[in-house]
Structure 1
């Protein structure tokens, strides 16, 4: 082969160390994304040598040496709900801030969940964050061959830490708000009723409505999406219903758009409307929906705190509840 056509060998960490006049171990510490002890002078020499040579650290090689890959798997059903966008944008930023990267594994509607989870064993990750309600802690540990599993879907066990929201608190406040405004009947629009989190949420609504003597006219199941909320809106008897509670803001947005005539200047004329998740869009003029939600920054901070502590992550410590609150807006 013509020498001009031969591939130029990639510079190695040893090349960088030799040019900087330091040991390979010091060069590795200087280039690490984690704060590791090395003098300012040596760090500067190493960074200058790396730039001169065009050296880029190899995360895989670093992971093989340290037995970590700084990679976190996030298991989701799908990402189409507006609340997902608000949450995952923040979560990715905070995970990257601690020197890790993320892969998403989309389980879908559950029909092929077992196959997808089984295939996930091909990924070597330091930890798995489980949002999908089709996955339990034991299955995820087995599939990834890793005990570092954080549950966020209600399927935790004694061996897995979890972060969940105290939804009862916010729901009680929202229903109390409706009762104080004279509501005596209500309709509940739900998401996937097979979800443990959703089942608990529905139970909280039933209990809160009964506590205030508000008749529950019915429960209509959707899938948290705007489209399902808009479709279910056709079943609302506006003459008999005092309030509509939706278990996602996206569904409440669909209801609001389907019944704009009953919300002049966004204020309720026939029935009051409450959402859930307190997504960012409810803070804008188009969808001023009364909602329930947790402080996302607190929620994400609790996730990252456990993720950053391997001992807590693998020993089942850290069963954390994050408070929710009611946020009144015009539609309520």
Structure 2
């Protein structure tokens, strides 16, 4: 049954076609607050499909004082790690009937502050802030927030993170098994958030003779640093990188300067993004449980719990450390 051109079908139209009340149609479209019999629900959904009915989100927001939208702030959207995490967050929110609004902070605390203000002005129902270097406290606005990776210094918001200390220990132990005793660590420009935890764990386990290296979280920066170290004769024989982006850059820099991996340089990364399986050689990684972390963050946000949740990051053995995955 087609509606007149130029007029969008309404709740009343669906009710008329389904042979029920507008209240029942509303219960079906909003999954509550009252239950609807299965056969009646099927009639309502069939009528809505026939009319190509779409709920008016603005009207719904005015009635319920909720928008059905959750803001997700990423440190750097171009980083495959955060892109994969965003995909899992979006999927988890969708199963809970929420729409995801994504903002990219570009590793800028000022940009992150700006995004928080923008999302609050848009009256989002909540915020998930994936912060690599601290974060803005938003409880002053009365909007629930969950942080992934790092809790803001001045706040008590729920946080979800991987167990970085155990991941670093497993990586170091694995490299020890290959005979490496001097294991370098490639950190970021600063030591906040999960990278700081990984650095601290490495420093406690690797010994004072192990070199600490730093560069930005970009492939080009890591490739340039690798070339510089090779040119200076200072490239370590074993290296743990804080992120996959850095590890991929290290592999590119080593290849460009004729340094064989893993024969002359063993590499383990602490991220485990999908890209890590397709490098040459494939990266050995401690795989951050992104799907689990995303589900935990969404549950904390929507169920109103206050907690600090952590998830293990298992070692995925490939070729870059010196192992033969086919063996």
Of 29, 48, 52, the residue aligned with 2:27 is 29
Q: 1:22 to 1:168 in 2, by over 3 A?
A: same
CA deviation after TM superposition for structure 1 residue 58, in Å: 1.1
Q: 1:26 to 1:146 in 2, by over 3 A?
A: same
Task: Give runs of aligned pairs for residues 154-173 of structure 1, distance below 5 A.
Answer: 154-156=150-152, 159-173=156-170
2:166 aligned counterpart, secondary structure? helix
Q: 1:95-122: CA deviations, max 9, x gaps? A: 2122111001222323444344333332
Of 56, 59, 75, the residue aligned with 1:58 is 56
Q: 1:9 to 1:269 in 2, by over 3 A?
A: closer
* Residues 1:257 and 2:246 are matched in the alignment: no
Measure the CA separation in 1 of the matches of 2:31 and 2:189.
41
- 2:224 maps to 231
- 2:200 maps to 203
- Unaligned ranges ≥5, structure 2: 322-327
* Residues 1:298 and 2:297 are matched in the alignment: no
Q: 1:161-220: CA deviations, max 9, x gaps? A: 11111100010011112223222323322224153322222111111202xxx7222322
TM-score, L = length of structure 2: 0.85
Q: 1:223 to 1:308 in 2, by over 3 A?
A: same
* Residues 1:308 and 2:326 are matched in the alignment: no
Measure the CA separation in 2 of the matches of 1:22 and 1:304.
35
Q: 1:276-302: CA deviations, max 9, x gaps? A: 211112223634112122322322222
Task: Indicate if the aligned counterparts of 2:133 and 2:150 stay in contact, CA closer than 8 A.
Answer: no
Q: 1:60 to 1:194 in 2, by over 3 A?
A: farther
Task: Indicate if the aligned counterparts of 1:185 and 1:240 stay in contact, CA closer than 8 A.
Answer: no
Q: 1:249 to 1:236 in 2, by over 3 A?
A: same
Measure the CA separation in 2 of the matches of 1:149 and 1:61.
25
Query: Which range moved further: 114-123 or 267-276?
Result: 114-123
2:27 aligned counterpart, secondary structure? helix
Query: Which range moved further: 244-253 or 183-192?
Result: 183-192
- 1:329 maps to 318
- 2:325 maps to none
2:109 aligned counterpart, secondary structure? coil
CA deviation after TM superposition for structure 1 residue 153, in Å: 3.5
1:215 aligned counterpart, secondary structure? coil
1:216 aligned counterpart, secondary structure? coil
Measure the CA separation in 1 of the matches of 2:121 and 2:19.
39
When the two chains are superposed, the root-mean-square deviation of aligned CA atoms in Å is 2.6
Deviating runs (4+, > 4 A) in structure 1? 33-36, 237-240
Task: Give runs of aligned pairs for residues 97-176 of structure 1, distance below 5 A.
Answer: 97-108=95-106, 109-133=108-132, 136=135, 138=137, 140-142=138-140, 145-156=141-152, 159-176=156-173
CA deviation after TM superposition for structure 1 residue 228, in Å: 1.5
Of 311, 318, 321, the residue aligned with 2:307 is 318
CA deviation after TM superposition for structure 1 residue 34, in Å: 6.9
Measure the CA separation in 2 of the matches of 1:58 and 1:85.
30
* Residues 1:219 and 2:218 are matched in the alignment: no
Task: Indicate if the aligned counterparts of 2:160 and 2:308 stay in contact, CA closer than 8 A.
Answer: yes
Q: 1:286 to 1:134 in 2, by over 3 A?
A: closer
Q: 1:133 to 1:272 in 2, by over 3 A?
A: closer
Measure the CA separation in 2 of the matches of 1:270 and 1:45.
67
- 1:3 maps to none
Q: 1:210-266: CA deviations, max 9, x gaps? A: 2xxx7222322x222211211111232456622122111121111112212332xxx
- Unaligned ranges ≥5, structure 1: 1-5
CA deviation after TM superposition for structure 1 residue 331, in Å: 1.4
Q: 1:71 to 1:119 in 2, by over 3 A?
A: closer
